[in-house]
Amino acid sequence: MPIYSYIERDSFIHRLHPTVKVFGLFVMFWSVYWVDHPVALLPIGLLLVILAQASGAGPNFRRMRWLFILAFTSAISWLFFYRQGKALVNVPLMHISQVSLVFGFSRGMKVAELLAAVLLFLSTTKIEEFAFGLQRIGMPYRVGFTFSLAFRLVPLFMDSAATIVDAQRLRGYDFSQGSMIQRMRRYMGVSIPVFMAALRKANNMAMALDARGFGRSSQPTTFIDYPIRPADVVAFAALVAIGAIHFMIYRSGFGTIRPH
């Protein structure tokens, strides 16, 4: 299983300037935040699906499909907490109405669309592009590097954990037997070598950064130059329009869910 989410393709999303892709991720979060009604959320969802198909990000979406299923099943929890509207079914712990069903489904759509935006971004953006884009929008270099470092180290830690588990299985240590609690206890024994490997990698990373003079300059140079193309200008204008339209939908009240 690949430990990184980036998928090498030659789509128009891959070729966009890193700053435009970082701004696009912000616009997706911005647009989803301002609207609540499923009808207002649907265009963003369709756009993300089209972009995922065009960029070849389908493998990552299929690999994370259980997260999308979990996002929509979490909508059931709102039947216990959102007690608005004329009740269709009203029991002591559950209030089912048309408004609560719409509200719960919209919350599931919000989580699913946020997850889709992140997966699309990670599938089409390299880690160095992410750091470059953060730096170009004005974020301090150290902060941008910290964010990019998190994207590098988390997959490495997951890969170390998978390697240690496979090594223990080769030694006859079965993780699949027993109840769920017993299996969790077996995995607890793996956490110690994973933690030690994480400390070792963090120490090696610190020494490597110190050897390369990290922090000597607040404006370090970059090995790759990313020129601004006409497609970047068009994409940036389209993203501004998407963000503005969703804010106007919010101001008009169409994107809200009103209890009846």
Give the mean model confidence (pLDDT) for residues 242-252: 91
Q: How confident is the model at residue 85 (pLDDT cuts 50, 70, 90)?
A: low
pLDDT at 77: 75
Which residues neighbour 168 within 8 Å (Cβ) at sequence distance 6 or greater?
175, 190
CB 40 within 8 A of CB 65: no
Residues 117 and 144 occupy one common structural domain: no
Check whether 91 has a pLDDT greater than 70.
no
Side chain identity at 113, as an amino acid letter? E
Quick one: 71 and 193 in the same domain? no
**CA–CA distance, 172 with 157 (Å, rounded to integer):** 23
What tokens does 184 get? 């969790």
Residue 109 lies in a domain: yes
Nearest C-alpha neighbor of 126 from the set 221, 200, 222, 259: 222
Pairwise CA distance, residues 64 & 12, whole Å: 23
Task: Note the Cα 202 to chain centre separation in Å.
Answer: 24
Tokens of 168: 């223990």
Q: What is the DSSP letter of 212?
A: T
- Are 31 and 78 members of one domain? yes
Average pLDDT, the chain: 81
119 and 147 co-located in one domain: no
Q: How confident is the model at residue 50 (pLDDT cuts 50, 70, 90)?
A: very high
CA distance 186 to 176: 9
Task: Compare 131 and 109 and report the one with higher pLDDT.
Answer: 109
Phi-psi map region of 6: left, alpha, beta (phi>0 left; psi -120 to 50 alpha) = beta
Task: Give the structural domain span for 207.
Answer: 140-215
pLDDT of residue 235: 94
Neighbours of 260 (CB within 10 A): 9
Residue 118 sits in the same domain as residue 192: no
43 & 84 share domain:
yes
Answer yes or no: do 18 and 78 share one domain: yes
Clarify whether residues 85 and 63 are in a common domain: yes
Q: Is 99 left (phi over 0), alpha (psi -120 to 50) or beta?
A: alpha
If pLDDT is split at 50, 70 and 90, which confidence band does 95 have?
low
Is residue 53 pLDDT above 70, yes or no? yes
Report the candidate in 203, 48, 164, 56 with the shortest Cα–Cα distance to residue 111. 48
Q: How far apart are CA 185 and CA 179, in angstroms?
A: 10
Mean pLDDT of 169-173: 74
Task: Supply the pLDDT for residue 90.
Answer: 67
Name the most confidently modeled range: 42-46, 56-60, 62-66, 224-228.
42-46
Residue 87 counted as domain residue: yes
β-sheet bridge partners, residue 91: 94
Max avg pLDDT among 57-61, 108-112, 205-209, 238-242: 238-242
Residues 107-129 pLDDT 10s: 888 989 999 999 999 899 888 88
Determine contact, residues 88/98, Cβ cutoff 8 Å.
yes
Among the listed ranges 14-28, 88-102, 106-120, which one has the minimum average pLDDT value? 88-102
Is 133 inside any structural domain?
Answer: no
**Mean pLDDT throughout 123-151?**
80
**What distance in Å separates the CA atoms of residue 152 and residue 4, rounded to the nearest whole number?**
8
What average pLDDT score do residues 51-76 get? 85
- Say whether both 167 and 106 belong to one domain: no
71, two tokens: 């996002």
Please check whether residues 150 and 210 belong to one and the same domain. Answer: yes
Check residue 260 and give its pLDDT: 57
Say what percent of the chain tops pLDDT 90: 25
Residue pointed to by tokens 């170390």: 160
How many structural domains compose the chain? 2
pLDDT of 181 > 70? The answer is: yes
- Please report whether residue 55 resides in a domain: yes
Assess if residue 52 is contained within a domain. Answer: yes
| Paired strand residues for 90 | 95
State residue 128's pLDDT score: 82
